[in-house]
Amino acid sequence: MRAFFLPLQSLQGRASGSAAANVSGRRLKEELPSLLVLGLIPAISSLGMSLHVPALNNMARCLSVDLFTAQSALSLYMLAFSVAIFASAFLADLVGKRRILLVSLSVSALASMLAAAASCFEVLLLARVLQAFAAGFIVVMPYAILQEMLSGRALSKTISFVSVLHSVAGATAPLLGGMFALGHGWRLAFALMSVYAIAMLVCVHKSVRPSYIKRRKSPLPRELFSRARTLVFGKRFIACMALLSFISALYYGFLAVAPVMLITNLKFSEFHCGFALFVLCGFWPLGNRIASSWVDRFGMVRSFQLAALITCLGLIPLVFGPGGNGFVLITVAMIPYMIGAGIISPLVVALATRPDPGLSGMASSLMFSAQVFIGALTAWFFGFFDLSTCRDIGLFGLFMTMVSLVAIAIIFPPILNRTTLEGGKLRAG
């Protein structure tokens, strides 16, 4: 058992100076157990967001509320989740990432137990808010730890690996929720989340060491605010944050209308709804996996360009297609989008640099907070205007893709054109 929990600080010696760019694949494989732990931790947020979606009807009947009221458990979760991610930006570098992980995982386990035992909808809402706050602090910390310990291609490879595991959890959650819905077992879904949180708590306690905290003093709030202002107004950071938010917006919007499209319009069962979402969302982690190899083969800049091209080409058939609620057409057309967006997302996280390595937690938190906030607005927009036809989805996806490309064309390329990938490290040419 001890061999499984390799201490993460063994990566620290490989991330100093130019040595960070020369971390070999063999050495990264030696750290696979620790990286596996960091990759599985963010899955708690994906489980909390979509595990119960196929079972909303069962939940509403069990708690004697209408479906619209039951859906508020999801919207309230997303709202609290985005607030928690934003708050984590100011606490990660002051309190310590490992300490935040331990406390948040404990809160997540207790909140999931409360949700599983809820006898009324108000108690369930309280448990969901606690779950969301805990998940908001949890999801960013693994990425911040990796940014603290690695750089260059080693960082790109490890973030791609962690993103794959995170995306797999997001794709699997609706399938598990559909399976639980078959037996009216939405409570069992929350019980599973509690067990998962406890398991991750043990893993973090044994595998993630606070060695990086000892290397420097925690910054004062005034000093942290000054450095954060420098970070927020950095052109590259703004470009990365915008790209991550806009490129993934359609993903959140589609998830918001897919259950209604499948269960209400096409008369799918809860299980088949979860299975369809599982198949479609499974292409996102495929894109995460491709990202790592593309960086080695094509370089960072070309990888961005190819992924954006794939994303646009996949959505064009929806705009010029027959329209309507053709789920098969939407699924086939969105596969290239899921792959392209899956390629871009880990590259953006890896490329977002900080003016100060002590702000790794803040940088990651702000990026994910913006992504969830834009995603929540997109989900509300899709639901309010009932954007569930092929043409609606295609036009919105192309618009958001173009917005992200315009932002990159204005801010990002002038930096990238003056950079070269030498020795696996992005630096000024």
For residue 8, being part of any structural domain is answered with: no
Beta bridge partners of 427: 420
Given a cut of 70, whether residue 3 has pLDDT beyond it is no
Identify the CATH number of the domain in which residue 71 sits.
1.20.1250.20
For residue 5, being part of any structural domain is answered with: no
Amino acid 18: pLDDT: 41
**Least reliable range by pLDDT among 39-48, 220-229, 303-312, 336-345:** 220-229
For residue 55, being part of any structural domain is answered with: yes
pLDDT tier for residue 224 given thresholds of 50, 70 and 90: low
For residue 214, being part of any structural domain is answered with: no
| For the ranges 45-49, 109-113, 135-139, 373-377, the one whose mean pLDDT is highest | 109-113
pLDDT tier for residue 215 given thresholds of 50, 70 and 90: very low
Can you give the pTM of this predicted structure? 0.74
Query: Per residue in 93-150, pLDDT tens?
Result: 677 788 888 999 999 999 999 988 888 888 988 999 899 999 988 887 887 777 776 7
Percent of the chain past pLDDT 70, that is, above it, reads: 74
Query: Per residue in 292-339, pLDDT tens?
Result: 788 888 877 778 878 888 988 888 888 887 766 677 788 788 899 999
CA–CA dist 417, 115 (Å, integer): 51
For residue 11, being part of any structural domain is answered with: no
**Rounded mean pLDDT, 363-391:** 79
Domain count, the chain: 1
Given a cut of 70, whether residue 2 has pLDDT beyond it is no
For residue 185, being part of any structural domain is answered with: yes
Domain that holds residue 232: 32-207+221-422
For residue 61, being part of any structural domain is answered with: yes
**Least reliable range by pLDDT among 45-49, 92-96, 168-172, 249-253:** 92-96
For residue 58, being part of any structural domain is answered with: yes
